[in-house]
Amino acid sequence: MPHNISTMPVPLTGSLDDFEVSRNGFLPEKLPIQRLSDQYYESWELILDHLPTLLVSASLREEVDRLPILSTSRLISQREWQRAYLVLSFLTHSYIWEAGGPSERLPPSISIPFLQVSTHLGLPPTATYAALNLWNYTSLSPSASLYNVDDLRVLHTFTGTRDEEWFYLISVAIESHGASIIPIMLNAMDAVNSNSPEVIMLALLKFSQCIREIGEILKRMDEQCSPDVFYNRIRPFLAGSKNMGLAGLPKGVFYDEGNGKGDWRQYSGGSNAQSSLIQFFDVALGVEHSLTGAKKGSKPGFLQEMRNYMPSPHRKFLKHVECISNIREYADTTTDTEVTNAYNCAVKELSRFRDIHIQIVTRYIINPSRKQGPMKNAGMNLAVASTNCTTKGLHGTGGTELLPFLKQSRDETKQTALQ
């Protein structure tokens, strides 16, 4: 498979560089920076250095409340803006979900710079998949492959556990491994226009292989991430402020901008639905999720809404690919049965990947939610609120009903197969 995909053409218009799609796919071209260069921001970085300890001692809010309101004018590059977004994401969710019960107010020292950074990046001021995964890793060596989860390390966690690190790294490895399929599927869309069935068939076969391989990466979650640790210690910090009434945030969170200014805001938390790669798979195959989270013809469904939680260039890329996606239509109308069979094989592999995801969610969320008694002294949070909930009513960190959403997404994928 091609290595340097940033130089390959995107069908019809534009280039991958325009959409900030690198040789690593939706991961950045260079490893994320590990610290803001200006000492001016050291007070942010020092809290992040000691985040797990501060959360264990329930003294994080006290430290944040002492912070001055820092200007974003000293951020000197896009990578620094991304770093600032990561830092403020971790501080925001730590402040909201510190043990003892959630805070309905985010102080100006966080709200004001976070709103500015989020506006610059076209992202909401909450801990998104981009903050937790795309910009939160490093490699053991510059030459080490990002494909191998064992060669990766995360920069920050809420809990300081290997379990949380492993949870994020699985996603990073999937993003990296799936990167090479992006130009292959774009070339297949070009091949439709030139009526080159062999190119399309080979692309679909490589797509199936890629999905199988990332499914095997996802299965490795069990190796170093415990379901109990994830459910009771990690997941509460990933929760957003939307549909979190049972967890203690009926109105969401008030982003206090000082002097009586501010707004109540509700955001979804970090979710794999915010992965541009996973949504690219759907768009490339023409899988439609129009009924997921909304009735057809009404407001956008959950997956469409999750695009607002992606970096804006990636969001634009998916919209662009939607406009040129033509593989399903070609596979449906061609007389070349090898293309149609290869397409159906790709759909089947994507359905199987979603089955693996459902199995993971069952082990890591559904089963623990049925157990008696979350961790002591946790206060109200997503784990406490979810314990003994009915499976149907159990919400994910993104704020939507968990199992019905995942099963419907899987079923809609299966229904895309051609007769």
Residues that constitute the known binding site for heme b? 357
Binding residues: 357
Query: Across the strands, what pairs with 15?
Result: 9
* Residue among 207, 367, 365 nearest 272 (CA): 365
Q: How far apart are CA 389 and CA 391, in angstroms?
A: 6
Helix (H) or strand (E) holding 380: none
Please, are residues 294 and 305 in contact by the beta-carbon 8 Å criterion?
no
Q: How far apart are CA 180 and CA 177, in angstroms?
A: 7
Q: How far apart are CA 285 and CA 412, in angstroms?
A: 12
Sign of CA pseudo-dihedral 368, 372, 375, 378: positive
- What type of residue sits at position 372? Q
- What type of residue sits at position 365? I
* Residue among 127, 212, 133 nearest 177 (CA): 212
Q: How far apart are CA 252 and CA 267, in angstroms?
A: 8
* Residue among 290, 287, 307 nearest 350 (CA): 287
